[in-house]
Amino acid sequence: MAERADVVFVDGVRTPFGRAGEKGMYWNTRADDLAVKAIIGLMERNPAVPKERIDDVAIAATTQQGDQGLTLGRTAALLAGLPKSVPGFAIDRMCAGAMTSVTTIGSGIGFGAYDLGIAGGVEHMGRHPMGFGADPNPRFLAEKLVSGDALNMGITAERIHDRFPHLTKERSDRFGMRSQQKVAAAYEAGKFQPDLVPVAIRSESGWGLATRDEGMRPETTMEGLASLRTPFRPHGRVSAGNASPLTDGATVSLLASGDAAKELGLTPKMRMVGFAFAGVEPEIMGLGPVPSTEKALRRAGLTIDDIGLFELNEAFAVQVLSFLDHFGIDDEDPRVNQWGGAIAIGHPLAASGVRLMIQLAAQFVEHPEVRYGLTAMCVGLGQGGSVIWENPNWNGKA
């Protein structure tokens, strides 16, 4: 039996993320075209990869209907010009869709079934609001498997505030404001731009080009955040300022075995050390990354102190704060979301996992003193996902 192969993250790109809805830049753009554009951009950046050598294409979407239906991995691969011999499939783990695309393709590589694979996700929340058209089994509620409001992500975030009163609205607002400031600074420094694939967009005023994320609010202040209404509960603590906005966008990554990367002369940006998914009560789904991270660390033989960089998905500020508090990490720890996160950039559900990986890979280059990094996120219906990565640029110094 073959030994487990090294799984490496060769490259990742994404479209700029747009505001969902009629006023958003992708209102007239199909969801599958966002995924296609990202795949084309990925392959153009990696001309040494023969298209026929791609063993599988996994593209995630949370709402798999309309232009997010019809087995996205296969249809997007064909539309992107990959040979008809290249198979593909669709995947759904709500917010952790792209992350699960990566761990699934990565598992195939580790097992020896694949040499090269494409993994990513897309969400057009303007066309496909979360849960739209779904028909939850009535026994979910009748048998009290979940509370009726467990399907409302904002209410699950309010419940984390209830459970941990020290996670105040002020802390969440400050975290949200810092996310906006960090994203603005990263844009100013040119951190995001290299990995963005421009997308042609059409509006009433004609054709244009999407080249940067649309939802950023760098002018955010604590005073402004304090005045925002709390839509999920009167006098609540979750607002538009400390939560991720509804967003459209796509991400894709190229994964390979260590041997295939060497054969093709590819330079890996990260090596997958391990991953884990875990379940929690759906009513407090934001706590999911805590047990998934503990499980991933345990299986990798590491501790939280071994992690030198964190990319945590900011679905809600309180969800990230609960993770940081659990592991004894300060709200302002410089290892965490160095370039900001989803509160400013947006969270197109099934696409976000690979965005975290793209940012971690770029930060690894800047931080050769860091050996291990973590990408982690909460998942609707009470789950968490975590992937541990090793920095190939590690210089052996702490």
CB atoms < 10 A from the CB of 113, how many?
14
Contact between 121 and 351 (Cβ < 8 Å): yes
Q: What is the spatial distance between Cα 64 and Cα 149, in angstroms, rounded to a whole number?
A: 23
235 flagged as catalytic: no
Q: Quote the Cα angle for 329-394-197, to 5°.
A: 85
> Which residue in 124, 128, 347, 367 is the catalytic one?
347
Angle between helices 97-111 and 352-366 (to 10 degrees): 70
Catalytic residue among 124, 128, 367, 378: 378
For residues 82 and 39, is the Cβ–Cβ distance under 8 A? yes
Q: Does the active-site annotation cover 128?
A: no
**Six token digits for residue 140:** 């979910």
- Are 124 and 28 spatial neighbours (Cβ–Cβ below 8 Å)? no
Which residue in the list 95, 124, 128, 161 is annotated as catalytic? 95
Burial class (CB within 10 angstroms; exposed 0-12, middle 13-18, buried 19+) of 61: buried
Instruction: Write the burial class of residue 21 (CB in 10 Å: 0-12 exposed, 13-18 middle, 19+ buried).
Output: middle
Residues 125 and 171: their CA atoms lie apart, in Å, by 28
* 295: enclosing H helix or E strand: helix 289-300
> Checking DSSP bridges between strand 247-257 and strand 7-14, what pairing results, if any?
antiparallel
Residue 108 CA to residue 89 CA, distance in Å, equals 13
∠217-220-222 over CA atoms, to 5°?
Answer: 155
Q: Is 347 a catalytic residue?
A: yes
Q: Which residues are catalytic, by number?
A: 95, 347, 378
